[in-house]
Amino acid sequence: MAPSPASGPPWLVLPTYNEAGNLEPLVESALAKLPPDARILVVDDNSPDGTGRIADHLAQRHERVRVLHRPRKEGLGPAYIAGFRVALESDAALVLEMDSDFSHDPAYLPRLLDAAARADLVIGSRYVDGGGVSDWGAARRTISRGGSAYARLVLGLEVRDLTGGFKCFRREVLEAIDLGTIQSRGYAFQVETTYRAIRAGFRVVEVPIVFRDRRVGTSKMGGAIVAEAALRVPLLRLGARR
């Protein structure tokens, strides 16, 4: 493995599928919150609503914005892995991930970056003091909280928010966790990356965030994604035993 640069810019990876109404204000807002050398990489899976074209316009306007176009929707996991690879092939020292629908407020980006000075993986967490969820009804809250508690129990972890997708990885973590063998596509992807990082001995810190409902557009969350997470979590545990 090539030696890692001791320093380099942060890269923010934004997965998009039909986020035409969110992407431009989100990118502008993130650019304003990130340090001047940061890069943003939009990973679009050929969104039918033209999100990919909006991303291309943003890349023309801002030198700091790049776009990775993928041919078809394959889920969050494969999109993130492809984006992480581009950031690692470049000069990223830190790789941030967040949803592209304003559920994750770009105002928290500096908080995640600050915490990365004392951790290898920072998680923007709904389930630590000061964190929370606004807008959600009882059913969605229960699924999310229950999902994190279930994964924590099965995997024997102390992390409170295992399914959230607002995270900052130090380059060394992504280099160590063997991205090529990750098969999770939905929420399970978030659980799997954190589990692998902890098993590899990296230090994880949670910082509080308040999660809001998406600003516009429709959710891609569904029963299949929840079922995948429920089934994959015990498989992760079994895989680690072997």
Ligand X SMILES: Nc1nc2c(ncn2[C@@H]2O[C@H](COP(=O)(O)OP(=O)(O)OP(=O)(O)O)[C@@H](O)[C@H]2O)c(=O)[nH]1
Q: Name the residues that contact ligand X, by CB under 6 A.
A: 15-17, 19, 43-45, 73-76, 79, 99-101, 103, 214, 219-221
- Select from Mg ion, ligand X, none the partner in contact with residue 127, using the beta carbon and a kind-dependent cut-off of 5 to 8 Å: none
User: If contact means CB under 5 to 8 A according to the sort of partner, which of Mg ion, ligand X, none does residue 220 touch?
Assistant: ligand X
C-beta closer to ligand X: residue 155 or 225: 225
Is residue 156 packed enough to be buried (19+ CB in 10 Å), middle (13-18) or exposed (0-12)? exposed
Tell me: does residue 100 bind Mg ion (CB under 5 A): no
Residue (of 60, 59, 42, 46) closest to 18 by Cα position: 46
**Least Å distance between CB 18 and Mg ion?**
11
Residue of 18, 51, 103, 190 interacting with Mg ion (CB under 5 A): 103
CA distances from 25 to 17, 40, 45, 113 (A): 16, 13, 19, 21
Residue 22, judged by CB atoms within 10 A of its CB (0-12, 13-18, 19+), counts as: buried
Among the residue ranges 111-119, 141-149, 197-205, 211-219, the one whose residues contact Mg ion (CB under 5 A): 211-219
User: CA 23, CA 51: separation in Å to the nearest integer?
Assistant: 7
Bridge-based pairing state of the strands 132-133 and 121-125: unpaired
Least Å distance, CB 44 to ligand X, is 6
Question: 39: which 2 tokens?
Answer: 């890069």
- CA torsion angle 175 190 124 19 (round to 10): 100
A 10 A CB-CB count for 127 gives 21
Write down the least CB distance from residue 162 to Mg ion, Å: 17
Minimum gap (Å) between residue 234 Cβ and Mg ion: 26
Of the pair 44, 99, the CB lying nearest Mg ion is at 99
Could you say which of Mg ion, ligand X, none residue 147 binds, taking C-beta under 5 to 8 angstroms by partner kind?
none
Site string for Mg ion, 160-179 (x = CB under 5 A): --------------------
Choose from Mg ion, ligand X, none: what does 237 bind? Cβ within 5-8 Å by kind: none
Interface residue with Mg ion among 97, 99, 161, 192 (CB under 5 A) is 99
50: left (phi over 0), alpha (psi -120 to 50) or beta: left
Query: Could you list the residues that contact Mg ion (CB under 5 A)?
Result: 99, 101, 103, 214
